[in-house]
Structure formats: structure tokens, C-alpha cells
A = this chain, B = another copy of it.
Amino acid sequence: MPLTLAVARERSDGESRTALVPETAKKFAALGARLRMEQSAGVQSHFLDPDYIGVDFMPSLEGSYAGADLILRVTPPSLAEIAAMPEGAVLIGLLKPYEAKERLAALNARKITAFSLELLPRISRAQSMDALSSQGACAGYQCGLIAAARCTKFFPMLTTAAGTIRPARVLVIGAGVAGLQAIATCKRLGAMVEAYDVRAAAKEQIESLGAKFVDTGVSADGAGGYARELTAEEKAAQAEKLAKAVAAADVVITTAAIPGKKAPVIVTRDMVGRMKYGAIIVDMAAESGGNCELTQPGEHVIANDVNIHGPLNLPSRMPTHASELYAKNIYNFLSPWIKDGALNIDWSDEVVAGTVLCRDGATVHATVKQILGDA
């Protein structure tokens, strides 16, 4: 019996992505896997059932999961969805490993082997599997678009017969994958972009996109490549430089999220109070509490005529391409272990070992165990 790979429709609120797209379905089929999908599982991403070649479509979630060896998901499964999974199946997805101990317990009770892509070691070989990066790029791009659409000014400089419009001033805080994509999007639209990151190494990347690095004059680089603790004076100097950049901006985009932790508050209530009338904050860290003290996740808050947007699940706003990238990440992760329709995972592989969340009825990921305790 060849390996059966199954994908159900994502049922989380507002989730439009899918873990299998027509292109990756074809590739999995070429590796000998049998493919099964719930009807309309790709529709929200604008992939119709007939677009998938060689996939069997089932009318229900239960029907698609029954007998499955390998289950692909975007979001963590609900307890009901876990109950529909065959005992011993392999599951892969963005499983929010640091949340919901009950989910972990349910997965272990059914002896599900679960890979959580948030745990993927960020080594160069794993880049093509890095779902946090691919989805972060989508999120950063969407943040740039939200900022432009909500700004009451043009982003680009505009020379018209009636006079010249100066470009809008954008500040991006946090220059990871998402931050860099937000910078690139705002630069493409013609805005004047400044960016800040605590990591000194980010300076070069920021400048390579044509943006200006906000130099706070304080470096946290310490011995052995680790960040050192700043003194109180240094912290104050850093905060003041940043507050000035925030006050000068028409748009502030914050992207400083830390997986599994509450987002650090970077833009305080005071700093919002010093911002321009009509300015905008797009807080990409809203999901984990927000980088702005006044952010309300999923809401649009107005304080001192500053508009603070806390959008959630940004990649799901562009599900066609977000799914394409995500599905490729999953394919790249799994394909080395599938041959002639059989799944043979090398548990000694560094990427596999780093990403596995639970196996054989137990949570095996060290950091997750440390945070959640045994489940």
C-alpha cells in the first residue's frame, strides 16, 4: 500500500490558505503518494478541485483523514480534527507549539507524530522549508499595503501641475523577513523609508533595500556574538532616538515578534502622543500582543488622531501565493523522505530532529517541554 497523504479544509476563522496546491500535489504524486483531499479544500485560495490532478476528493473531513498516513495542515487541528486522525499518523503544519497543552495531549493520546514548522532549525539547508519566512514575507508585504492604503498621503513623490507632493515618511521597526518585505514594499511605492533593528547586522540589509538605518548610537553586540545587557543610560538614549524617529513618521510599521513569546512593547503610549496628527501604526505583532502599547489585536484603534491597526493572520489575505509558498515549504521538508510511495524519515537528520514536536505518544521537543511541561 503506498503512502496516503490527506488534506482537509482549514476550519479556523479567517483562514483561507491550504497546505496542498495543484503544483505540489503533482510532485507528491510523482513520488508515489496517494493523495486525498476534502472537497473544496483549496477554494478559498482560488484552487478549484478540478485544478488538482490525481487527487481523490472526499465530501467530509473524516472521509479525507480515514486511513491517512500523512496529514498536511496550515493551522493546528482542533480536538475534533485530531479525533478524526488515524492513530500513528504523521502530521505537519504550523501547530503553534507553545500554545494549548490540551492539543498536545490529544495528539499524544493518538500517538500522532507531529512536525511543527515553527520549530524548524533556521539553518541554511532548511531555508526552502522555512514557513515562518515565507509567511512572514507575505505578512510584511501586506503590512506595507495596509499602511499605504490607510495613509492619507501619497507614498511616492508626485510632481503635478499644481505643485510637488513630498513622499510619505515610513519607519519600519524590526528588520527580519517580514520587516524587510515591508521596507521593500514601501520603497517600491516611493516612500521615504527608515528602519530600525536591535541587531547591528540588520543595518546592511536595510540599506541594501535603499532604506535608511536609524542609528541609535547604541550597540547591543557583546562577546561571542550574543547581545549584551544595555545600561540604563544606553537604554534611555536608544528609546529617545527611536521616539524621535517615530514622531517624525507618517507611518510606523512594527514587526518585532518573538515566536512563543509576548511581543515586546516598543512604541509606548507616550511615543504615540508625540506622533503626527493623522499618522498610522500598523502593528504586525498584534497576534502576540503588539509592539505598540495601544494595539488591540484585530482592531483599529484611534488615539490622539493616530490610527493604530492590529491586523491578524496577514498571510491569509493573499491565500493564493501564501499557500503556494507554504505548500512548497512542506514539500521541501517531506520529499527527501518519500520514495516509491513509502515514507522513511531519518530521525537523525538535524532538520527532522529539530522540528518534531511529538512522537510515539510523547512530546519530544525540548523547548516546548520546558515551557509547557510534559503533556
State the A residues within 8 Å of B (CB). 16, 45-46, 48, 127-130, 133-134, 137-138, 141-142, 145-146, 148-149, 151-154, 156, 158, 160-163, 165, 185, 188-190, 276-278, 305, 317-321, 324-325, 328-329, 332
Contacts and interface: CB of A to CB of B under 8 A. Distances in A.
A318 B152 contact: yes
A328 B163 CA distance: 8
18 contacts: A16-B152, A46-B276, A46-B277, A128-B161, A129-B162, A130-B162, A133-B161, A134-B160, A134-B161, A137-B158, A142-B149, A146-B149, A152-B317, A153-B321, A154-B321, A160-B325, A185-B189, A278-B320
Nearest to A318: B152
B189 A153 contact: no
Nearest to A16: B152
Contact of A162 (B128, B148, B160, B162): B128
A158 to B, nearest CB: 7
B154 A318 contact: yes
Nearest to A324: B165
B145 A148 contact: yes
How many copies altogether?
2
B162 A134 contact: yes
Contacts of A161: 127-128, 130, 133-134
Contacts of A318: 151-154
Contacts of A46: 152, 276-278, 305
Contact of A190 (B153, B165, B188): B188
A142 B138 CA distance: 21
Given A146-B149, A319-B152, A320-B153, A163 B278 contact: no
A165 B278 contact: no
A266 to B, nearest CB: 24
A185 to B, nearest CB: 7
A288 to B, nearest CB: 23
A332 B152 contact: no
Contacts of A130: 161-162
Given A133-B161, A145-B149, A48 B320 contact: no
Nearest to A138: B154
Contacts of A45: 152, 278
A157 to B, nearest CB: 11
A121 to B, nearest CB: 14
B329 A152 contact: no
B321 A156 contact: no
Contacts of A319: 152
A318 B190 CA distance: 16
A27 to B, nearest CB: 11
Q: Which of A129, A134, A161, A162 has the most CB of B within 10 A?
A: A162
A281 to B, nearest CB: 15
Residue among A128, A134, A154, A320 facing the most chain B CB atoms (10 A cut-off):
A154
